[in-house]
Structure 1
């Protein structure tokens, strides 16, 4: 934002991969180990800090006008309250937050030469950050002075809406991206940076995330690609074809790296691939391979969580993937865990509402809000025979990325020519 809080340019989204060189620069200037020890994460293209550096390098005329840097929901907050504020969970995704202090890292912002005054004040998720202004209240038809709470990032808010506030229960979200989300009472860092460690919206708690950049996005890509030939093709029709296809898609594997990948590879140049395609394979095989490939990627993240000592008793499914009976069963069979659905499907919005209830005094704390409002619906159990089959197939899946990594780099270079 400029000095009058006007938007300077369109936002660069979380899945924008253009900031690879800036990630290298951040790593060199801060130090790889030091960065993870402070911010909990390596430099990745989706974070805010490399985007600020990209703007400084490539659009200096825009950079010269910057006076404030806000995350999207916090820009909405500014319109509601006139206050510059963020919450610890969302701020942790900027790469500028000191996780232990739950505030901006003086060291990182100084090394990267990002003015501290550009950054908003950081609050805990249920804290009140301001009140609805008269102008905003009149426009929205709401009472002036209504409290506006800090809230959380989408996944952290969803964790409140699904009850991920204790060890042993994790959530699996299959939207555009795929996310495994686990609560932790203490900071747990992956020294290799394969998992994200962020502040939770529960005060003084933390969470770990494994992120697959193209989950539902991969399924959407397949549907959109086919719609050029079959305009009326629906997701339900594609799922129906996958249901008629044997587990493992008769030897066809899909790598879902259509936007690069975060967990476990941290590779913006990784790309998607069908491997094992033969004349016997048809559309149903391709659809099933896409759905299975996404869950194989989630399983990679789950393995790293277990490496770090996290227990797993139950997976709670949210997002578009939770609405698909087939995708729920695939998660149970591939992850080897019961998959539970929630009584309220819109986890992020529900979680934000519960946080607001805490901030408004309806509940004494986040745990009380979750106990009062969150309920599960039904559970899908893994099939032992299919689990054994997917164990073998996942071993093959894991061999493919290392084998294709040089090819991904060569193809990315060729695409730039």
Structure 2
């Protein structure tokens, strides 16, 4: 049994952020009903160009990632009949999940008070760009604006002296992280309701999630009263530790070493690169000495690691005691045996998708395909007890798809 089996979620949301929370909750066992506009659906369905990636055909990974395992109903909340159906769904739900801004929430009758009037015990969860308070709480945004740019990430990872700002590594980067945060908050609210009977209003924003992901850096910057600066491309990065940085291999790949106690791991590294004599070199005899001679150690390691390929070093470093990893792109991760062994990528219909990051009882994560637009509308209406005459009336009125 999955942890959230028996929990019903009504999702009134678009694009990547809040729907990704619904996707996580669906993989944890909840039933998620996705409400889409009766005619246009979730605008994410029409997003076909992402950077240099162009998607043609019926399958859209952007939609599948954030909507796996849900059911879809096409509903026009602006029509009284559509709102009536929505409220019937609210009565049977444990969680109301939305990305709508305060103005539209009030206009469509889906704000906290509206939903609680229909179902007093429902957990109300909302994802926003900039948070529920302050002068800008009614402003929208995307992960590029609120999470990446305003949250401090873009400027922090962009090396000084160059033109422009580094972009996010891919679509919905901040959305997916923020959605997982929202899923965790909802799970905690379910536990509180079970213990106390009190439902919560759960808020997660892209801005708050961006700041949380930068928490160490922001704390250091505020304490020291200066911003963190990214190292220039090609520089080692750490000024006091040669075992914390990137090293290029003979086939133009990179190894990432992160051994925060260089004195502990230096001898082992020297033996693995075939230079055991360096372990007793006075320049590197202690952690303090290594720190003083970091530049020399970096030059030695660069020369040694550049002599062999990544595949060679992967075999050689299999017994290395300190943490290291190959630098991999978004395609190379699919060939990583450790990723496959842990089933962090799963088959979902015609696609392979990344599973949500939480596993229970060391069991295989299960993911189902995203629904086609409004595919379960008739089924959901019948489950509400509506007969075909009423369903046809709703369709004629344009209230449902």
| TM-score normalised according to structure 1 size | 0.23
Question: Relative contact order: is structure 1 or structure 2 higher (C-alpha 8 Å, sep ≥ 6)?
Answer: 2
**TM-score (structure 2 length as normaliser):** 0.23
